[in-house]
């Protein structure tokens, strides 16, 4: 960055010096041209009053010629002695007006550029022509000016380079500190955080976003570790029980009731199968993978799921027809099934299912008349593999993943799943945005 800034400033300075030199040279050329014209006017007046001089000398024009109306050389400066041709022979030029040109091809002045003036002098016998010339200024104007411009440009470039280096070094110091901290982070240690710069600028915001990203990454890794630990524990339990039953049966094969043992093993296999299915569903939800969302009639979906399988308790239906949401039908059916299974396990006699509307929101409630869930544990039951004591007693084979899966499905549909107050038992409330057909206008 320092090199680029310095190079840019150097180019700007070079362009500035060139333009300044060009401007100075043009000013000097204009000044010399104006001086030639003033001197030509003086010579013209002298010719009218005193006649033709024999020698032209003095003033700025070190080179001069005077021709009469017939083109005969009348007088010239000493350095043009022996030259009878006009300095500026241009037939296309109007002889009634003065003309000035910068010429570098004059035979008398090889290798030198001259400013040449042709000045007409009207007299009674015709128009005489005065030619005067002076050296053109060099491209660098004057050595002192060139030295001053180049020195100033170099000083400016040096100051720019030093200033840019100091500013960039100070600006990039937080970047170096952030990079050093990020280099310490490994897949097994995500505890490092980048330092926050003291100035409220883009780097300050970048550092904050980086730390928030690291927080999320660390939380995700810790969640995965906990998930793997809990899953391995729950997978080992049925496998251990099955192994013990098989080993005992094989030790006493003649005394073993094999149909009974097979039935017990089948129960353990079913529990393990349910756990694996829940783990796969959880991993898909964690990865954000799901089918495209379509328009779903929530009332009809609940009606179909309730009709699909009889329940061990009475189910009271309070379904408002035509409640439309946008979502994945299979996922919403899984959510409802998990809530119904949970309510059925804890209900004394009745489960109430309600579908309704709130402004802009579809609402599904599943309530049971059981013992309910204490207020301080209402969020705990949505944690993975968490099972309250009452749940362990009523369903020893549960996985502890039904309610967490239900909440993740709700969140994947931009909704929420909470436990709210009820006169008796637990009341789970799902809220989803209404579909396009249900959005109030």
Q: What pLDDT score does 382 carry? A: 86
- The CATH architecture to which 290-438 belongs is 2-Layer Sandwich (3.30)
Selection from 29, 33, 55, 30 nearest residue 43 by Cα: 55
CB of 258 closer than 8 Å to CB of 239: no
Report whether pLDDT(91) > 70: no
Could you please state the CATH topology (level 3) that the domain comprising 2-135 is classified under: Beta-Lactamase (3.30.450)
> Between residues 221 and 408, which one has the greater pLDDT?
408
pTM above 0.75, yes or no: no
Structural tokens at position 330: 């299979």
Q: What pLDDT score does 60 carry? A: 47
- Would you give the DSSP letter of residue 138? B
Predicted confidence band at 205 (pLDDT cuts at 50, 70, 90)?
confident
Mean pLDDT throughout 398-420?
86
Q: Report domain extents, the chain.
A: 2-135, 202-285, 290-438
Q: CA-CA distance, 429 to 422, in Å (whole number)?
A: 11
- Would you give the DSSP letter of residue 315? E
DSSP string, 27-95: HHHHHHHHHHHHHHHHHHHHHHHH---SB---SS-SEEEEE-TTS-EEEE-GGGTT--S-S---TTS-T
pLDDT by residue (tens digit) across 17-50?
Answer: 677 766 777 888 888 888 888 888 888 888 888 8
Stretch (H or E) spanning 116: strand 114-123
- Helices then strands, counting H and E runs in the chain, come out as 8, 12
Predicted confidence band at 90 (pLDDT cuts at 50, 70, 90)?
low
Q: CA-CA distance, 259 to 245, in Å (whole number)?
A: 13
By the 10 Å C-beta count (0-12 exposed, 13-18 middle, 19+ buried), 11 is classed as: exposed
- The CATH architecture to which 202-285 belongs is Orthogonal Bundle (1.10)
Q: What pLDDT score does 105 carry? A: 74
By the 10 Å C-beta count (0-12 exposed, 13-18 middle, 19+ buried), 213 is classed as: exposed
Predicted confidence band at 95 (pLDDT cuts at 50, 70, 90)?
low
Predicted confidence band at 317 (pLDDT cuts at 50, 70, 90)?
very high
């Amino acid at each position: 960055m320092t090199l680029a800034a310095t190079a840019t400033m150097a180019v700007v300075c070079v362009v500035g010096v060139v333009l300044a030199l060009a401007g100075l040279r043009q000013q000097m050329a204009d000044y010399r041209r104006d001086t030639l014209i003033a001197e030509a006017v003086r010579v013209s007046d002298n010719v009218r009053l005193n006649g033709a001089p024999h020698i032209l000398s003095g003033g700025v024009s070190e080179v001069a010629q005077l021709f009469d109306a017939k083109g005969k050389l009348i007088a010239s400066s000493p350095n043009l002695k022996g030259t009878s041709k006009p300095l500026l022979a241009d037939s296309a030029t109007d002889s009634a007006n003065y003309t000035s040109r910068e010429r570098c091809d004059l035979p008398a002045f090889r290798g030198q550029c001259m400013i040449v003036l042709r000045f007409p002098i009207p007299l009674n016998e015709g128009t005489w022509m005065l030619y005067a010339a002076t050296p053109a200024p060099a491209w660098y104007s004057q050595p002192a000016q060139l030295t001053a411009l180049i020195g100033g440009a170099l000083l400016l470039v040096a100051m720019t380079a030093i200033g840019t280096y100091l500013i960039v070094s100070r600006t990039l110091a937080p970047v170096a500190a952030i990079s050093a901290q990020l280099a310490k982070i490994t897949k097994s240690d995500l505890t490092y955080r980048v330092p926050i710069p003291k100035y409220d600028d883009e780097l300050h915001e970048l550092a904050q976003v980086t730390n928030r990203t690291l927080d999320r990454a660390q939380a995700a890794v810790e969640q995965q570790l906990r998930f793997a630990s809990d899953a391995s524990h729950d997978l080992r339990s049925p496998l251990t029980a099955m192994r013990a039953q098989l080993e005992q049966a094989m030790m006493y094969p003649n005394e073993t009731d094999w149909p009974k043992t097979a039935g017990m093993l089948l129960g353990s296999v079913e529990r393990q199968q349910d756990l694996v299915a829940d783990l796969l569903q959880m991993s898909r939800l964690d990865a954000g993978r799901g089918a495209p969302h379509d328009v779903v009639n929530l009332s009809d979906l609940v009606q179909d799921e309730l009709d699909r399988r009889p329940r061990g308790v009475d189910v009271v239906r309070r379904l408002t027809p035509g409640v439309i949401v946008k979502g994945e039908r299979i996922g919403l059916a899984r959510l409802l099934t998990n809530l119904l299974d949970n309510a059925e396990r804890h209900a004394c006699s009745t489960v109430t299912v309600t579908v309704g509307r709130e402004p802009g929101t579809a609402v599904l409630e599943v309530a049971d008349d059981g013992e309910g869930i204490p207020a301080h544990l209402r969020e705990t039951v949505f944690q993975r593999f968490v099972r309250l004591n009452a749940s362990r007693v009523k369903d020893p084979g549960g996985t502890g993943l039904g309610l967490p899966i239900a909440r993740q499905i709700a969140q994947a549909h931009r909704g929420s799943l909470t436990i709210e107050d009820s006169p008796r038992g637990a009341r789970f409330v799902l809220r989803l945005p209404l579909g396009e057909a249900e959005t109030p206008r």
